[in-house]
């Protein structure tokens, strides 16, 4: 038996043993802020904005880019045209043909007597004009062949061999003046970071407000559960007394049935309150990021009183409320960003100046007679871009951006007015809750005295059971209204702090 008992104890889930937790309002807030998904999203957005700001800062710095390319072409670049290539390749043949033509023209201009005289003179030397012409032709043809070969060599030397082109370059650019676009871009990045910070603060305050509301709802329902249990005990005690009186013939059966109905109503009310309390604990668990089956016991649910001193409100706090609200910070950041967007668009109509420098390498080497090798050159320069005409495109965009900026400014002004109204309403609700609290406390005292008198009269036999039930119902309503007033005062105070932007 001990063995089976030990197994039974070991089989109990450990999570159930640790499911009960006692928490106060501060620990609930801390857990809610730590586990809220929107808070995590806000943290990621702030990190994104921070990186965007760092990226914008790099626009002031020089940029270094490396490029590389290869290109194959079906034809190579030629420095000589076709006629020049033909002329150089046949320069010797052309020259020999010209010389032969000139000699033939010269021979045709001589008379037979002149030819005979020349042959006579050459004959005395042991030769003739035909022999001299034949030897000259042989030398001329040899010289022509050499010149043709030299011309073809020149044509080959002028070949570029650029069908396979390799190129590479390292380019450094340094912006000098970009029309104010870089400055506007960096300012927008700074404002974007402020905007995400304001959004995160708004999410934080809303999370605290929702957590407080869920916490005090649990406290309220817990007090109402105790009240319902007390009322059930009272009505059951009255039912016992009535049935005793019925047995003695002092009370009627109808009075007993009326008391039974009240008992059933009290049990139904207790069941509803208990169900509401369970659901409220689940909501608080969800707000705190805990499993919904965790039984959170609030530190204030067992206190006899949950009243707190409301936040005193003066005119100075009301005037500073708009400046403290994260919503105003977000709207103001959006308005400032729209102004910078106008400056960014205006840069489209301004000149841009940049400094460039780098090193370029090519193969074939264009700096060494298109030799098949790598060769490069350093370069430095200034690039100036001046917009001349764009059909008013930039002007139209600037006007549209100015309209958006004006709308953003109006939204800020409208939000300030709404915040002033919200603060005034919250202050009114705080005062109203305080008055209700005082009235509810007075009503509880009267209801308790009325119930005491009714019970005394019932025991003395001078009052019927219906009078006691009416007194008990009035007591229940007075106590319930007091609990509602106390919780309303708590929530009104939280709402007032949220309206003032001071919810911590």
Residue 7 has a pLDDT of: 34
> How far apart are the C-alpha atoms of 504 and 489, rounded to whole Å?
18
Tell whether the model's pLDDT for residue 186 goes beyond 50.
yes
Report the percentage of the chain scoring pLDDT > 90.
Answer: 27
> How far apart are the C-alpha atoms of 296 and 18, rounded to whole Å?
11
Residue 113 has a pLDDT of: 64
Type and span of the H or E element at 295:
strand 295-298
Please give the angle made by the CA atoms of 169, 173 and 179, to the nearest 5 degrees. Answer: 150
What global pTM score does this model have?
Answer: 0.74
> How far apart are the C-alpha atoms of 210 and 204, rounded to whole Å?
10
- Ramachandran category for residue 461: left, alpha or beta (phi over 0 → left; psi -120 to 50 → alpha): left
> Maximum distance among all alpha carbons in the chain?
191
- Tell me, rounded to whole angstroms, the distance of Cα 346 from its chain centroid: 26
> How far apart are the C-alpha atoms of 433 and 198, rounded to whole Å?
31
* pLDDT band (50, 70, 90) for residue 468: confident
Residue 448 has a pLDDT of: 86
pLDDT in tens, 363-411: 888 887 777 888 889 999 999 999 988 898 889 999 999 999 999 999 9
pLDDT in tens, 108-121: 665 666 656 666 66
| Side-chain half-sphere CA neighbours of 426 within 13 A | 26
In the numeric block, the tokens 């039912």 are attached to 239
Residue 175: strand, helix, or coil: strand
Residue 10 has a pLDDT of: 36
Pure H helices in 71-180: 82-89, 91-108, 112-124, 129-157
Sign of CA dihedral 274, 275, 279, 282: positive
Residue 252: strand, helix, or coil: coil
Average pLDDT over residues 68-81: 84
> How far apart are the C-alpha atoms of 241 and 48, rounded to whole Å?
72
Structure tokens given for 258: 């009326």
Please give the angle made by the CA atoms of 87, 93 and 96, to the nearest 5 degrees. Answer: 125
pLDDT in tens, 243-301: 887 777 767 788 778 888 888 988 998 999 999 999 999 999 998 888 888 888 888 87
Q: How far is CA 71 from CA 75, 170, 243, 374, 459, in A?
A: 12, 18, 110, 15, 113
Least confident interval from 198-202, 334-338, 364-368, 400-404: 364-368
> How far apart are the C-alpha atoms of 211 and 311, rounded to whole Å?
19
Residue 105 has a pLDDT of: 65
> How far apart are the C-alpha atoms of 284 and 299, rounded to whole Å?
13
Q: What share of the chain is helix, strand, coil (3-state, %, to 5)?
A: 70, 10, 15
């Amino acid at each position: 038996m001990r063995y089976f008992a030990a197994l039974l104890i070991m089989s109990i889930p450990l999570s159930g043993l640790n499911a009960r937790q006692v928490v106060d309002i501060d620990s609930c807030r801390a857990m809610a802020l730590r586990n809220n998904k929107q808070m995590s999203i806000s943290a990621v957005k702030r990190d994104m904005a921070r990186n965007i700001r760092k990226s914008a800062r790099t626009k002031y710095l020089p940029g270094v880019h490396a490029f590389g390319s290869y290109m194959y072409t079906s034809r190579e670049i030629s420095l000589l045209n076709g006629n020049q290539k033909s002329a150089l390749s046949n320069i010797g043949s052309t020259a020999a043909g010209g010389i032969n033509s000139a000699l033939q023209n010269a021979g045709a201009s001589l008379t037979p007597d002149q030819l005979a005289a020349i042959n006579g003179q050459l004959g005395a030397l042991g030769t003739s004009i035909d022999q001299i012409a034949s030897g000259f032709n042989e030398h001329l043809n040899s010289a022509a062949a050499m010149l043709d070969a030299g011309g073809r060599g020149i044509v080959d030397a002028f070949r570029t061999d650029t069908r396979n082109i390799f190129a590479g370059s390292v380019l450094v650019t340094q912006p000098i003046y970009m029309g104010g676009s870089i400055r506007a871009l960096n300012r927008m990045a700074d404002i974007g970071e402020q905007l995400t910070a304001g959004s995160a603060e708004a999410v934080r305050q809303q999370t605290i407000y929702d957590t407080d509301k869920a916490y005090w709802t649990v406290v309220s329902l817990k007090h109402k559960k105790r009240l319902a249990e007390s009322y059930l005990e009272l009505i059951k005690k009255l039912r016992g007394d009535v049935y005793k009186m019925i047995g003695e013939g002092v009370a009627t059966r109808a009075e007993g049935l009326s008391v039974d109905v009240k008992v059933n109503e009290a049990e139904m009310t207790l069941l509803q309150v208990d169900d509401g309390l369970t659901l409220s604990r689940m909501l608080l668990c969800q707000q705190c990021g805990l499993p919904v089956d965790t039984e959170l016991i609030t530190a204030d649910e067992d206190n006899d009183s949950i009243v707190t001193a409301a936040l005193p409100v003066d005119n100075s706090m009301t005037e500073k409320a708009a400046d403290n609200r994260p919503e105003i910070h977000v709207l103001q950041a959006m308005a400032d960003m729209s102004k910078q967007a106008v400056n960014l668009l205006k840069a489209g109509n301004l000149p841009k100046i940049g400094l460039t420098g780098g090193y370029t390498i090519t193969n074939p080497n264009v700096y060494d007679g298109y030799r098949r090798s790598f060769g490069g050159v350093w370069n430095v320069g200034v690039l100036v871009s001046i917009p001349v005409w764009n059909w008013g495109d930039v002007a139209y965009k600037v006007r549209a951006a100015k309209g958006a900026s004006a709308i953003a400014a109006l939204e800020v002004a409208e939000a300030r007015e709404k915040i002033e109204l919200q603060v005034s309403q919250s202050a009114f609700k705080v005062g109203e809750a305080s008055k209700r609290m005082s009235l509810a406390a007075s009503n509880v005292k009267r209801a308790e005295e009325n119930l005491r008198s009714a019970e005394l009269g019932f025991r003395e036999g001078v009052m019927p059971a219906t009078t006691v039930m009416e007194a008990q119902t009035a007591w229940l309503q007075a106590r319930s209204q007091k609990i509602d007033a106390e919780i309303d005062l708590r929530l009104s105070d939280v709402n007032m702090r949220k309206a003032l932007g001071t919810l911590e």
